[in-house]
Amino acid sequence: MGDWLDRYHQKLMLMQKDIEQIETENNNMEIQARNHEQLAVELERLSKKLEYKQDYVLRLKNEAFDTPDGLQKINEAVVVLQSAIQERLSEGMDHMQAVM
């Protein structure tokens, strides 16, 4: 009887170890999923902030520098471009690199 209890105890201990490993992996996956969600939100925000409409590109290419209206349209396009260029990244994102 004691031998049977020892084997049963060993099996339970192995199962407990497996359960703990599964729980650890699950917790890590949950953290990774939350990080991916936060990254997606931040990248979407950054993408919208850096979006530069085609209208502004056309203004920079086609508007005349020698008319007040042309200069005004060019200036508006430059202000938007300058704002996008000077956009600060969230903390920690300035060192990110794409990996394949």
Mean pLDDT over 49-57 rounds to 82
| Single pTM value for the model | 0.54
Question: 29-61: string of b/e by CB count within 10 Å (b at 16+)?
Answer: eeeeeeeeeeeeeeeeeeeeeeeeeeebeebee
Confidence band of 64 (pLDDT split at 50, 70, 90): confident
Q: What is the pLDDT of residues 77-94, one digit of tens each?
A: 999 888 877 877 777 766
Domain boundaries, the chain: 1-48, 52-88
pLDDT at 53: 82
**Residues 81/49, Cβ–Cβ less than 8 Å:** no
Confidence band of 14 (pLDDT split at 50, 70, 90): very high
Confidence band of 98 (pLDDT split at 50, 70, 90): low
Highest mean pLDDT among 12-21, 57-66, 70-79: 12-21
